[in-house]
């Protein structure tokens, strides 16, 4: 398991070992969408995921 902190609410977030960079996850406490920015030495850095734009996927 990889433990890190939510950048929005500072809650502890536990990620599975097979989590990859750029994966989108949700915080269990504040339900914010987060992106895994970096994984290094069993430590992950999370950032708030960008808001979905209307023209995504077009």
The distance from CA 26 to its chain's CA centroid, rounded to whole angstroms, is 7
List of domains in the chain: 2-48 (2.20.28.160)
- Give the pLDDT confidence of 11-22 residue by residue, as tens digits: 999 999 899 999
Q: What is the pTM of this model?
A: 0.79
**SS3 state at 37:** strand
| Whether pLDDT at 33 is above 90 | yes
Under the banding of pLDDT at 50, 70 and 90, the label for residue 58 is low
Under the banding of pLDDT at 50, 70 and 90, the label for residue 41 is confident
Are residues 24 and 34 in contact, defined by beta-carbon separation less than 8 angstroms?
yes
| Whether pLDDT at 38 is above 80 | yes
Q: What angle do CA 40, 42, 43 make, to 5 degrees?
A: 65
Tell me what pLDDT residue 55 has: 58
Q: What is the largest CA-CA distance in the chain?
A: 37
């Amino acid at each position: 398991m990889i433990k890190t902190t939510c950048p929005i609410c500072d809650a502890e977030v536990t990620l599975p070992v097979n989590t990859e960079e750029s994966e989108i996850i949700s915080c269990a406490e504040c339900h914010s969408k987060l992106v895994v920015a970096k994984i290094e030495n069993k430590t992950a850095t999370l950032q708030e995921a960008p808001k979905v734009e209307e023209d995504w996927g077009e």
